[in-house]
């Protein structure tokens, strides 16, 4: 498998009643990206937390930015992507690129994680290189507590350009809890945390084409009660 050097994260608004359709179309779009643009890996799902719960998240990775350049043609010509915009009522909120950095971690690429946690932080006391060095000392805590994959990099585009981005996938909420309990008890992390400013941490429920019935159940629950996530 080629090295993952760049990751592109897209967030989009979607009406709650169209989420199941949108997930199906994202699955088809992911297939088009892999076959036509050489995308190394894709993940997509629904944002569960933060200021825009219910938003769609689509993550794609590339060996080089020439792959993302090829993806622009796929955006223009992919039937699932065009259906996603026209039939599913999807509106793109943002799309940003991050440059990944090598971090020691035993990636479980053949796993099927259910959750992705994205954390964004602004360097304050540490330089980006120092942040990578210090984070590398605690990345094993995520692996030891059941995380499936881990990627770490620096955002290149958008209003948060220069911030660091961490993406970790997990098989269940239990592993998320265990990982962050372990991190919170780490002196290395506490030192790192005092030299960065964490400005975002969100949980995304990852889906694939086999999960579409589950999305139907999610949107059914979302219609009930005033506490339901909106479509922002």
Number of domain units in the chain: 1
229 in any annotated domain: no
Sign of CA dihedral 159, 164, 169, 174: negative
Q: Which residues pair with 207 in a beta bridge?
A: 44
The pLDDT, as a whole number, for residue 224 is 43
231 in any annotated domain: no
124 in any annotated domain: yes
86 in any annotated domain: yes
73 in any annotated domain: yes
Q: What is the CATH number of the domain that holds 186?
A: 3.30.70.100
Token pair in block for residue 77: 């010509």
The residue range of the domain holding 61 is 6-222
How do 115-123 and 41-47 pair as beta strands?
unpaired
Please give the distance of CA 127 from its chain centroid, rounded to a whole number: 24
* 71 against 228, higher pLDDT: 71
230 in any annotated domain: no
Q: Is the pLDDT of residue 129 over 70?
A: yes
- Indicate the average pLDDT of the chain: 89
**pLDDT above 70: percentage of residues in the chain:** 89
Rounded to 10 deg, the angle between the 19-36 and 79-86 helix axes is: 150
CB 168 within 8 A of CB 117: yes
pTM here is 0.87
Q: Is the pLDDT of residue 229 over 60?
A: no
129 in any annotated domain: yes
* 111 against 10, higher pLDDT: 10
The pLDDT, as a whole number, for residue 46 is 95
**pLDDT above 90: percentage of residues in the chain:** 84
In the structure, what pLDDT confidence band is assigned to residue 232 with cuts at 50, 70 and 90? Answer: very low
> Model confidence over 51-98: pLDDT tens digits?
899 999 999 999 999 999 999 999 999 999 999 999 998 999 999 999
In the structure, what pLDDT confidence band is assigned to residue 30 with cuts at 50, 70 and 90? Answer: very high
77 in any annotated domain: yes
In the structure, what pLDDT confidence band is assigned to residue 143 with cuts at 50, 70 and 90? Answer: very high
The pLDDT, as a whole number, for residue 111 is 82
Question: Cβ of 220: how many Cβ atoms within 10 Å?
Answer: 12
In the structure, what pLDDT confidence band is assigned to residue 137 with cuts at 50, 70 and 90? Answer: very high
**Which range (19-33, 142-156, 206-220) has the least confidence?**
206-220
Q: Which residues pair with 169 in a beta bridge?
A: 116, 149
């Amino acid at each position: 498998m080629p090295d993952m050097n760049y990751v592109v994260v897209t967030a989009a608004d979607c009406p709650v009643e169209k989420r199941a359709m949108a997930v199906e179309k994202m699955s088809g779009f992911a297939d088009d990206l892999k076959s036509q643009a050489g995308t190394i890996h894709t993940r997509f799902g629904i944002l569960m937390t933060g200021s825009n719960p219910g938003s769609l998240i689509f993550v794609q990775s590339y060996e080089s930015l020439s792959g993302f350049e090829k993806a622009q043609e796929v955006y223009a010509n992919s039937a699932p992507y065009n259906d996603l915009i026209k039939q599913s009522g999807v509106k793109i909120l943002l799309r940003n690129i991050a440059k990944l950095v090598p971090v020691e971690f035993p990636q479980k690429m053949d796993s099927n994680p259910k959750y992705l946690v994205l954390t964004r932080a602004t360097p304050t006391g540490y330089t980006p290189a120092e942040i990578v060095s210090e984070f590398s000392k605690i990345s094993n805590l995520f692996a030891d507590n059941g995380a499936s994959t881990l990627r770490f990099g620096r955002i290149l585009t958008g209003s948060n350009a220069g911030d660091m981005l961490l993406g970790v996938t997990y098989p269940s909420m239990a592993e998320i809890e265990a990982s962050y309990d372990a991190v919170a008890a780490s002196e290395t992390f506490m030192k790192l945390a005092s030299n960065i400013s964490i400005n975002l941490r969100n949980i995304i429920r990852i889906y694939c084409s086999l999960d579409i019935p589950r999305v139907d159940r999610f949107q059914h629950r979302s219609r009930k009660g005033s506490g339901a996530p909106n479509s922002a």
